[in-house]
């Protein structure tokens, strides 16, 4: 416990059980220093820790017991691994003498979590606890962040030790390179200075490095159009004149289709995921790529990089800004705006401001964005509504768009939203999920009610697993195999958890209902019945080039 206090931990999400009881017993004496949130399933704890970390940048912490407690964390750990989220999971383990004997609630947690952790370690002696925990927090939060699992045997939890918490951790083999090579920066600046159609792609790395201001300064000086990956959203205010939109399979039209016209691409803190690049061999055919990332393994992984720069995004952007010339690229930027107009007439107008028919997801998000002035933290689940939220919510503050990107974990949003609200109690936190994903961690409504977390929850209910249904419609000849959902009465369910809720079916009720949701001082659930068979466009079909993006 003392180690956690020393590491600056204020809150833990967890669930007790046999093999972690000594830790929970110690927690009883530390209630004034560390708040414990009792989740209803360990997966919820892992996602809540992620949401917490994503909203404030500090590591999220969760506790689980041995065996099933630990294995229930696995999805959340894998999610944190793919999205580079610093979480520290502490799991109880059976007494060291019993390890390997198939003891009650024994699982090989180290074995199970090795491929999905940045680091893991099993403690069998109490004396190791302070040093290992210090190391765990250091590793989770530095370099490219990621999940760390510390498995502590029950006997080690009972053990006594002379407490000494190391102030500074040094690991000889682990020294992430923060400072860019000056020569590479010079080459990159020269390339950008001579570019006709330069294009900046920014990702999660900008938010992790807290380099939002540096990104802004750089693009303003160079007059560089910039697009966000899914996790890059909110690193640049959505109303910034050089922000051209969101990349990827369901991204904006211009940012995708114009990728292949760019002559120099500066990629910062992003990893050229297949959802961004489309068919690799036809991606960025004309561009020389400058790629800044703190993880050397990301450079040249998916696309051939002309100038790789291993560095912290904040430092690299600062140095690059000094070297580039003041410039503007008005005709090039105008091409993006032309694409925007096309997307507006072909897609956005009908999606955001429909006059007839059922409520559309995009109109809900557009209205929400307008009503919150883009100042809320939006925590989004996975599926159609996720892409719609990414497209239509216009955040103006950093760390405001939280979702499961790499793993695409349904059920992420509700617990992650709880964590985010604890991290940023002063900000409005709104969870947006589909009717499918909401049911995957629905039990966390009990946690929300018990803690009276004033979390706002929107279910965009189309009675389908919408994204899969969309693919079935477009690529599987409308064979809707196992995608129709016969849902429970979500409002009654919320009521059962002592959470207020209301259901919206008519367009005329939508605006006031959203206002009530935002104004509520308590947890509040809004179920909105939306168009059943709506599709998200634009769309780069799977395996197609970004140029083959479809508007309809």
Partner 1 sequence: MKHLSTITVFSQNTPGVLYRIADLFLRRKINIESLTVSEIELPGQSRFTITVRADGDLVEKVVKQLYRIIEVSKVVDSLDHELIFKELSFIKVHTKDAAARHELERLAQMSGAKITYVTGRFLVIEKAGTEEEINNIYQLLKPYGIKEFVRSGRIAVFKE
Active-site residue, selected from the candidate residues 33, 104, 213, 373: 104
How near is the Cβ of 309 to partner 1 at its closest, in Å? Answer: 14
Active-site residue, selected from the candidate residues 81, 367, 467, 539: 467
Nearest residue (CB) to partner 1, 306 versus 471: 306
The reply on whether position 296 binds partner 1 by CB under 8 A is yes
d(CA 90, CA 61): 8
Nearest residue (CB) to partner 1, 244 versus 299: 299
The reply on whether position 280 binds partner 1 by CB under 8 A is no
The β-bridge partners of 525 are 457, 501
Nearest residue (CB) to partner 1, 74 versus 458: 74
**Identified binder of partner 1 from the candidate list 13, 52, 119, 464, rule CB under 8 A:** 119
Piece in contact with partner 1 (CB under 8 A), picked from 67-75, 88-96, 298-306, 393-401 = 298-306
Nearest residue (CB) to partner 1, 111 versus 543: 111
Active-site residue, selected from the candidate residues 13, 81, 135, 154: 154
Do 531 and 357 meet the contact criterion of CB atoms below 8 Å apart? yes
The reply on whether position 295 binds partner 1 by CB under 8 A is yes
Crossing angle between the packed helical segments 68-82 and 42-56, to the nearest 10 degrees = 30
CA-only gyration radius of the chain, Å: 24
**Identified binder of partner 1 from the candidate list 24, 121, 306, 471, rule CB under 8 A:** 121
Angle at 42 between CA 38 and CA 48, to 5 degrees: 70
Nearest residue (CB) to partner 1, 132 versus 342: 132
CA distances from 207 to 130, 213, 236, 274, 428 (A): 30, 10, 9, 21, 19
How near is the Cβ of 315 to partner 1 at its closest, in Å? Answer: 20
The reply on whether position 120 binds partner 1 by CB under 8 A is yes
**Identified binder of partner 1 from the candidate list 28, 32, 111, 330, rule CB under 8 A:** 111
Identify whether 186 is a catalytic site residue. Answer: no
How near is the Cβ of 12 to partner 1 at its closest, in Å? Answer: 23
d(CA 167, CA 289): 40
Site string for partner 1, 174-213 (x = CB under 8 A): x---------------------------------------
3-class DSSP assignment, residue 484: strand
Identify whether 190 is a catalytic site residue. Answer: no
Closest-CA residue to 310 (of 215, 216, 183):
183
Identify whether 105 is a catalytic site residue. Answer: yes
Do 246 and 227 meet the contact criterion of CB atoms below 8 Å apart? yes
Do 547 and 400 meet the contact criterion of CB atoms below 8 Å apart? no
The H-assigned helical ranges of 357-412 are: 361-371, 384-392
The reply on whether position 115 binds partner 1 by CB under 8 A is yes
Active-site residue, selected from the candidate residues 42, 50, 351, 527: 42
Piece in contact with partner 1 (CB under 8 A), picked from 59-67, 119-127, 212-220, 393-401 = 119-127
Identify whether 104 is a catalytic site residue. Answer: yes
How near is the Cβ of 544 to partner 1 at its closest, in Å? Answer: 24
The reply on whether position 331 binds partner 1 by CB under 8 A is no
Piece in contact with partner 1 (CB under 8 A), picked from 171-179, 260-268, 405-413, 544-552 = 171-179
How near is the Cβ of 138 to partner 1 at its closest, in Å? Answer: 10
Active-site residue, selected from the candidate residues 6, 35, 58, 105: 105
Sequence-ordered list of residues with C-beta below 8 angstroms from that of 446, at least 6 positions apart, any chain: 40, 497
Piece in contact with partner 1 (CB under 8 A), picked from 40-48, 114-122, 211-219, 323-331 = 114-122
d(CA 229, CA 206): 11
CA dihedral 491, 496, 500, 503 (to 10 degrees): 0
Nearest residue (CB) to partner 1, 26 versus 297: 297
Round to the nearest angstrom and report the end-to-end CA distance of the chain. 56
Closest-CA residue to 483 (of 517, 521, 434, 423):
434
Footprint of partner 1 on 133-152 (CB under 8 A)? 139
The H-assigned helical ranges of 455-546 are: 466-475, 490-496, 507-519
Nearest residue (CB) to partner 1, 114 versus 322: 114
The H-assigned helical ranges of 144-211 are: 154-158, 182-193, 204-208
Q: How many residues does the chain have?
A: 552
Identify whether 467 is a catalytic site residue. Answer: yes
3-class DSSP assignment, residue 141: helix
Piece in contact with partner 1 (CB under 8 A), picked from 10-18, 47-55, 276-284, 296-304 = 296-304
d(CA 430, CA 509): 19
Site string for partner 1, 299-318 (x = CB under 8 A): xxx-----------------
Angle at 79 between CA 226 and CA 475, to 5 degrees: 70
d(CA 247, CA 30): 45
The reply on whether position 118 binds partner 1 by CB under 8 A is yes
Distance of CA 519 to the CA centre of its chain: 26
Piece in contact with partner 1 (CB under 8 A), picked from 45-53, 62-70, 166-174, 242-250 = 166-174
The reply on whether position 68 binds partner 1 by CB under 8 A is no
The reply on whether position 172 binds partner 1 by CB under 8 A is yes
Q: Return residues touching partner 1 (CB under 8 A).
A: 110-111, 114-115, 118-121, 139, 171-174, 295-297, 299-301
Q: Catalogue the active-site residues.
A: 42, 104-105, 154, 467
């Amino acid at each position: 416990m003392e180690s956690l206090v020393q590491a600056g931990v204020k809150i833990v999400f967890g669930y007790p059980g046999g093999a972690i009881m000594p830790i929970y017993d110690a927690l009883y004496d530390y209630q004034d220093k560390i708040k414990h949130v009792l989740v209803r399933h360990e997966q919820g704890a892992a996602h809540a820790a992620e949401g917490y970390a994503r909203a404030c940048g500090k590591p999220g912490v969760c506790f689980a017991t041995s065996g099933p407690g630990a294995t229930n964390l696995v999805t959340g750990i894998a999610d944190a691994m793919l999205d580079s989220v610093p979480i520290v999971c502490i799991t109880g383990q059976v007494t060291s003498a019993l390890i390997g004997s198939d003891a009650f609630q024994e699982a090989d947690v180290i074995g199970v979590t090795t491929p999905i952790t940045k680091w893991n370690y099993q403690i069998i002696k109490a004396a190791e606890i302070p040093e290992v925990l210090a190391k765990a927090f250091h590793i989770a939060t530095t370099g490219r962040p990621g999940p760390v699992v510390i498995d502590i045997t029950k006997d080690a939890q009972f053990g006594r030790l002379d407490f000494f918490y190391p102030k500074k951790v040094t690991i000889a083999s682990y020294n992430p390179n923060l400072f860019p090579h000056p020569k590479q920066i010079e080459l990159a600046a020269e390339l950008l200075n001579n570019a006709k159609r330069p294009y900046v792609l920014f990702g999660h790395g900008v938010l992790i490095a807290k380099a939002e201001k540096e990104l802004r300064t750089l693009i303003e000086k160079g007059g560089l159009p910039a697009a966000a990956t899914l996790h890059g959203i909110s690193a640049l205010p959505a109303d910034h004149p050089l922000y051209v939109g969101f990349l990827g399979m369901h991204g904006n039209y211009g940012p995708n289709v114009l990728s292949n016209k760019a002559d120099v691409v500066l990629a910062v803190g992003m990893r050229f995921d297949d959802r961004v690049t489309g068919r690799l061999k036809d991606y960025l055919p004309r561009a020389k790529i400058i790629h800044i990332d703190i993880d050397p393994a990301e450079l040249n992984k998916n696309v051939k990089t002309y100038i790789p720069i291993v560095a912290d995004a904040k430092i690299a952007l600062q140095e690059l800004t000094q070297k580039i010339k003041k410039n503007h690229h008005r005709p090039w930027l105008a091409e993006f705006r032309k694409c925007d107009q096309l997307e507006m007439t072909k897609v956005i107008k009908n999606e955001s401001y429909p006059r007839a028919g059922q409520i559309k997801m995009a109109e809900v998000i557009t209205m929400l964005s307008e009503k919150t002035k883009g100042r809320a933290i939006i925590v989004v689940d996975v599926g159609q509504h996720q892409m719609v939220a990414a497209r239509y919510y216009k955040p103006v503050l950093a760390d405001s768009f939280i979702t499961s990107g790499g793993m695409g974990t349904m059920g992420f949003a509700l617990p992650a939203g709880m964590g985010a609200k604890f991290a940023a109690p002063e900000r409005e936190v709104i969870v947006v999920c589909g009717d499918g994903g909401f049911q995957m961690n629905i039990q966390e409504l009990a946690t929300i009610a018990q803690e009276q977390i004033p979390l706002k929850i929107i279910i965009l209910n189309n009675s389908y697993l919408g994204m899969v249904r969309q693919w079935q419609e477009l690529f599987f000849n409308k064979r809707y195999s196992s995608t129709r959902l016969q849902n429970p009465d979500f409002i009654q369910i919320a009521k059962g958890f002592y959470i207020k809720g209301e259901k919206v079916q008519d367009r005329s009720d939508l605006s006031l209902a959203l206002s009530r949701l935002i104004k509520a001082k308590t947890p509040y659930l809004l179920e909105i019945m939306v168009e059943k068979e709506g599709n998200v466009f634009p769309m780069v079909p799977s395996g197609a080039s970004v140029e083959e993006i479809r508007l309809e």
